[in-house]
């Protein structure tokens, strides 16, 4: 199990770096290519693990795509959900996250025309391109609710770009759908006070087992290591001790998913929520292979947001699900 999981995560990271290293000069004629929209009645547009569980995880993947050129030189800034070269890294993330945090729940994750990593180097690029990705996920979530969910409770989860899209889904969610939402996990992002005020269904988690709440955290060595635009969050919780104050927690874990576990010395980390910024401060991390290409910076642990807290996330999803289903 550990060996196969390690392979999945190594593939995921290596493919991301390979995609991001592709030529990203301006396209010929300044014309970009938009892949065909996914059709969610097509099973190939989903990663699904059915465990005959009483509840589901609906997971929205992070950015696994870099800018790339077609054979005619046209530039593309979106994943092609029917092309194996862009599907591969996304599938690796789906499999890896399912193995890390899916636990005993059913796991649903849609392919979508996610924006390339280069998109997030500019606010204007992000504003122009993210609506395509968001609309795909919006349609997939509706298809899931209408045809796959069967009335079961569900956990909504997204990482990075996926978390940004997830928050938009919550802004649009109706009360009937929300009544079946066990919890929402917005991983590796921040939530502004403006977003919180505009969406009454984003209810900040206050502990380890409240339901109908949103869990959010963003890990850095110190506040100066936060990426631009993600420097302050109105919603935040420590995913180790599930507290919203500055009480520190100890986390003992392997620092890297890229090195065989048996060849690593475990880090003893101190994880502390900074209430003033809403950032999660990580002290004692020794990994050196975590910095994202293009947008990452030293001391920003964005690429490790699921890996470091994997056991706590999996156990917490199970705990909130158990409480929700007892209440149902």
Query: What are the tens digits of pLDDT across the range 278-327?
Result: 999 999 999 999 898 888 899 999 999 999 999 999 999 999 999 999 97
Q: Which residue has the tokens 């420590």?
A: 238
CA dist list (Å): 113 to 18, 131, 134, 217, 310: 18, 10, 9, 25, 26
Q: What domain range includes position 298?
A: 2-327
pLDDT in tens, 198-209: 999 999 999 999
Edge to edge, the sheet with strand 46-49 lists: 46-49, 106-110, 56-60, 154-159, 181-187, 213-217
Alpha helices by DSSP H, listed for the chain, are: 2-20, 84-97, 123-143, 161-172, 175-178, 193-198, 305-308, 310-327
CA gyration radius for the chain? 19
Collect the ranges in the chain with pLDDT lower than 70. Answer: 1-31, 328
Number of domains in the chain: 1
The pLDDT of residue 229 is 87
Report the alpha-carbon distance of residue 161 to residue 63 in Å, rounded.
6
**What is the value of pTM for the model shown?**
0.91
What is the model's pLDDT at position 258? 87
Pairwise CA distance, residues 216 & 218, whole Å: 7
pLDDT at res. 328? 52
Residues 6+ apart with CB under 8 A from 196: 202, 204, 234, 235
Query: Strands 106-110, 46-49: parallel, antiparallel or unpaired by DSSP?
Result: antiparallel
Given a contact cutoff of 8 angstroms between Cβ atoms, the answer to whether 51 and 317 are in contact is no
pLDDT of residue 292: 86
């Amino acid at each position: 199990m550990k060996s196969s999981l390690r392979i999945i995560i190594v593939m995921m990271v290596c493919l991301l770096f390979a995609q991001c290293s592709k030529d990203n000069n301006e396209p010929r004629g300044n014309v970009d290519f938009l892949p065909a929209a996914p059709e969610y009645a097509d099973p190939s547009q989903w990663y699904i693990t059915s465990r005959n569980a009483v509840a589901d995880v609906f997971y929205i993947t992070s950015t696994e795509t870099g800018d790339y050129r077609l054979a005619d030189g046209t530039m593309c800034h979106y994943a092609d959900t029917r092309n194996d070269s862009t599907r591969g890294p996304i599938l690796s993330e789906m499999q890896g996250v399912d193995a890390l945090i899916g636990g005993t729940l059913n796991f649903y994750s849609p392919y979508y025309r996610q924006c390339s990593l280069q998109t997030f180097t500019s606010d204007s690029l992000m504003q122009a391109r993210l609506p395509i990705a968001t609309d795909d996920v919006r349609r997939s979530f509706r298809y899931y609710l209408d045809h796959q969910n069967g009335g079961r409770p569900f956990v909504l989860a997204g990482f990075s770009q996926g978390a940004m899209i997830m928050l938009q889904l919550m802004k649009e969610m109706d009360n009937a759908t929300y009544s079946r939402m066990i919890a929402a996990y917005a991983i590796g992002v921040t939530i502004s006070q403006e977003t919180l005020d505009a969406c009454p269904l984003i209810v900040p988690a206050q502990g380890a087992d409240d339901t109908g709440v949103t869990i959010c955290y963003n890990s850095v060595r110190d506040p100066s290591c936060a990426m631009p635009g993600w420097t302050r969050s109105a919603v935040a919780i420590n995913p180790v001790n599930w507290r919203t104050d500055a009480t520190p927690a100890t986390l003992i874990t392997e620092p890297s998913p890229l090195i065989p576990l048996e060849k690593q010395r475990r880090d003893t980390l101190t994880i502390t929520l900074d209430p003033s910024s809403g950032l999660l401060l990580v002290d004692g991390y020794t990994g050196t292979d975590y910095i994202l290409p293009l947008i990452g910076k030293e001391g920003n642990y964005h690429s490790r947001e699921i890996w470091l807290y994997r056991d706590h996330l999996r156990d917490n999803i199970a705990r909130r699900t158990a409480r929700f289903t007892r209440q149902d």
